[in-house]
Amino acid sequence: MNRLHGKVAIVTGAASGLGRADAEFLTRAGARVLLTDLNTKAGEEVAAALNAERPGCAAFAEHDVRDEQRWTEVVSEAQRRFGALNVLVNNAGVVVVATPETTTLEQFRFANSVMSEGVFLGCKAAIPAMRAGGGGSIINMSSVASHLGYPVFFAYSAAKGAVRAMTKSIAVHCQMNKYHIRCNSVHAGAIETPMVAAANEALGLKMTDYEAAPWGLGRPADVANVVVFLASDESRFINGTEIVVDNALTIQ
């Protein structure tokens, strides 16, 4: 319950899916969390549910992760509401179903603006705030799409590959400057979320199709448990690495 007592986190894309699970598990571990999303109604509902469970543990802010100025405001809001910023979970994501030949430049730019530029802007805004508080943990949500070839998710894979690379540069930068800020990436396989369901539907697949695969279908909790660990001081010596949560998918 108190693994994260005293820690303050921002979780982007927290209105549903992995972001919601991350926020739920972080607050249950004792953290206070500023949830952000473009879906204001759903985000406020999630924050209200968390506060009903543990009063004062959550707040919501509407947030477009592509907006640099809004990032500055969101980080300031976390500090104003909760007094600090110790953890950032860059989770917000979108999926475009298109191959290298069918992906439009507009689609490619859109996917990368959310998941590559959004992560960059989040890290840039969070680092000074974490330095002021004595350090912290940045957790960037990448994907096994950065390890495997997924032609139908071309733009998504490109963005997640950028997240994988940025994570390592940020970790080394913070270490070299003695900021006491760790940065790691999480690479999930197929997880039961609305985004994965929508992508499968676009491809004419069903979520139940994963039951026949050796690796199966993961649950949001499988990822959220890793996020809590990376947010905690238990992971103090884990930095600049990539944690794969895919039940051996990438090695088969």
Active-site positions? 156
Query: Structure tokens of 47?
Result: 């924050």
State the number of CA atoms in the 13 A half-sphere of 45 facing the CB. 6
Query: Structure tokens of 25?
Result: 């598990």
Rounded CA separation 88/91 (Å): 9
**Tell me, what amino acid is at 7?**
K
The interaxial angle of helices 154-176 and 105-112, nearest 10 deg, is 30
Could you tell me the sign of the dihedral formed by the alpha carbons of 182, 187, 191, 197, in that order? positive
* CB neighbourhood size of 156 (10 A): 28
Strand positions, DSSP E, 75-208? 87-90, 136-141, 181-188
The answer to whether the beta carbons of residues 57 and 26 sit under 8 Å apart is no
